[in-house]
C-alpha cells in the first residue's frame, strides 16, 4: 500500500487545507503532523477506491473509510474507536474546508457519524508501581540521572512526554516566596502556557541531573538550551522519552500496560484519590474542558467500589 501513486489533485487539496491550518488557525507543528498523517491515510484509501478528484468523493467513501479502519480491510490496519474518531475529525475538517472554499459542491462527510468509543479508562499505575519505575535509573551515570529527572518531572507535573522534552533549562524556575517554590513552565496544545509546581522529589532529581548529569551530555554538543539532552548534546526526542519509561517499567518488572501517557494518567488518578478537586487537576493537566479530566473520576469511583465490595460486611451476599 505504501507504493500507491496518490493522485496529485488529491495531494494538492490536502496541502491547501494544511496550509490553512498553519496560517489561519496557527496549529502547533505536532498537531499539523497528526492531521497530515491521518489525511494521508484517507488519501491512500481513496486511491484504492479509484478516486482521482475531490469532486468524486461521496458519503459512501467516507463511511467506507471508517469501516475499513474498524475492520482492518484495504490494508488500513484495524484501529480502536478513539483513533478512528481522531481520523474522522481530520477528514471532516478537510471536507468542510473544501465546501466552504467552493472547491466541492457538497460536504460528503457532513452526515457521517463516528463510531461509539465506549468508556475509556486511563491506564494508571499504582503508587507502588510508580515508585519502582522512578527508582530504576542508576544514580551514578549521566543517562541514569537524566532518566530519573525526566520521569520524576513527568509524574510530579502530569506533563505530556512531548511537553517535557520541549523544556529548556530556563523553564525550571524557583519563585521568590517563603517556601522557595520551584515551578516548571509547560507549553501544551496550541502553545498554551501553564505553570505547575514541582515536588521535592522532582526538584532533587532535576537538580542532581543539572549538576552531575547534564554537563556531561552538554559537553558533546553546541550549547543547546534544552533541559534533557542525549549523549550528543542535543534535545532528546519524544521516542527517547517514551523508551525511557518503557525500559524502566521492564526493569522494574511492571506487567501493567505502559503508554507514553502512563505517568500522566497516574499523576491525575493519584491526585484525585488523594482528595484533589477535579478542577485543580484540570488546570495542572492543561485540559481545556473539565469534561476531559472527569474521566479520571470514573477510575477513582471504580477503586472505591472495589474497596467497598472487599471490606464492607454487607456489600455482598
Q: Is position 46 within any domain?
A: yes
- The model's pLDDT over 238-248, given as tens digits with 9 standing for 90+, comes to 999 999 999 99
Which residues are known catalytic residues?
A: 160, 189, 261, 264, 287, 296
CATH code of the domain covering residue 252: 1.10.443.10
With beta carbons less than 8 A apart as the criterion, state whether 194 and 186 touch.
Answer: yes
- The model's pLDDT over 112-140, given as tens digits with 9 standing for 90+, comes to 887 665 555 567 899 999 999 999 999 99
Alpha carbon 280 to its chain centroid, in Å, reads 20
Residues listed for the chain: 317
CATH code of the domain covering residue 27: 1.10.150
Question: Average per-residue pLDDT in the chain?
Answer: 87
User: How far, CA to CA in Å, does 225 sit from each of 153, 158, 167, 171, 197?
Assistant: 18, 22, 9, 10, 21
149 with 76, same domain: the answer is no
78 with 144, same domain: the answer is no
Give the span between the Cα atoms of 149 and 170, in whole angstroms.
Answer: 15
138 with 284, same domain: the answer is yes
62 with 190, same domain: the answer is no
pLDDT classification of 211: cutoffs 50, 70, 90 = very high
140 with 92, same domain: the answer is no
Q: Is position 115 within any domain?
A: no
222 with 266, same domain: the answer is yes
Q: What total number of domains does the chain contain?
A: 2
Greater pLDDT, 263 or 28: 263
SS3 115: coil
Q: Is position 120 within any domain?
A: no
| 138: Cβ contacts below 8 Å, ≥ 6 apart | 144
Give the span between the Cα atoms of 94 and 218, in whole angstroms.
Answer: 43
Task: Note down the domain range covering 206.
Answer: 127-308
151 with 80, same domain: the answer is no
227 with 265, same domain: the answer is yes
Tell whether the torsion through CA atoms of 271, 276, 278 and 283 is positive or negative.
Answer: negative
DSSP E strand boundaries for 83-148? none
57 with 155, same domain: the answer is no
Q: Is position 122 within any domain?
A: no
**H/E element, 172:** strand 172-174
pLDDT of residue 82: 74
Q: Is position 113 within any domain?
A: no
184 with 300, same domain: the answer is yes
Amino acid at each position: 500500500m505504501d507504493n500507491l501513486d496518490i493522485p496529485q489533485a488529491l495531494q494538492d487539496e490536502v496541502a491547501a487545507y494544511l496550509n490553512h491550518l498553519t496560517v489561519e488557525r496557527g496549529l502547533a507543528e505536532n498537531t499539523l503532523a497528526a492531521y497530515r498523517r491521518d489525511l494521508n491515510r484517507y488519501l491512500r484509501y481513496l486511491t484504492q477506491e479509484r478516486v482521482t478528484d475531490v469532486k468524486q468523493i461521496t458519503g459512501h467513501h467516507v463511511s467506507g473509510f471508517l469501516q475499513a479502519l474498524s475492520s482492518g480491510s484495504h490494508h488500513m490496519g484495524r484501529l480502536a474507536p478513539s483513533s478512528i474518531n481522531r481520523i474522522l475529525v481530520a477528514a471532516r475538517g478537510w471536507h468542510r474546508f473544501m465546501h466552504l472554499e467552493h472547491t466541492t459542491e457538497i460536504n460528503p462527510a457532513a452526515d457521517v457519524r463516528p463510531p461509539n468509543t465506549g468508556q475509556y479508562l486511563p491506564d494508571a499505575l499504582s503508587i507502588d508501581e510508580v515508585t519502582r519505575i522512578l527508582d530504576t535509573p542508576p544514580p551514578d551515570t549521566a543517562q541514569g540521572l537524566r532518566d530519573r529527572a525526566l520521569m520524576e518531572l513527568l509524574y510530579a507535573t502530569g506533563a505530556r512526554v512531548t511537553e517535557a522534552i520541549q523544556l529548556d533549562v530556563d523553564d525550571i524556575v524557583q519563585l521568590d516566596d517563603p517556601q522557595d517554590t520551584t515551578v516548571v513552565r509547560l507549553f501544551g496544545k496550541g502553545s498554551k502556557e501553564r505553570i505547575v509546581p514541582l515536588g521535592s522529589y522532582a526538584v532533587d532529581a532535576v537538580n542532581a541531573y543539572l549538576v552531575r548529569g547534564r554537563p556531561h551530555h552538554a559537553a558533546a554538543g553546541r550549547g543547546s538550551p534544552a533541559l534533557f539532552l542525549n549523549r550528543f548534546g542535543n534535545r532528546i526526542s519524544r521516542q527517547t522519552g517514551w523508551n525511557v519509561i518503557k525500559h524502566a517499567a521492564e526493569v522494574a518488572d511492571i506487567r501493567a500496560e505502559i503508554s507514553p501517557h502512563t505517568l500522566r494518567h497516574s499523576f491525575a488518578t493519584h491526585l484525585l484519590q488523594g482528595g484533589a478537586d477535579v478542577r485543580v487537576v484540570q488546570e495542572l493537566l492543561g485540559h481545556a474542558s473539565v469534561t476531559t479530566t472527569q474521566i479520571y473520576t470514573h477510575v477513582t469511583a471504580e477503586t472505591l467500589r472495589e474497596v467497598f465490595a472487599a471490606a464492607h460486611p454487607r456489600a455482598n451476599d
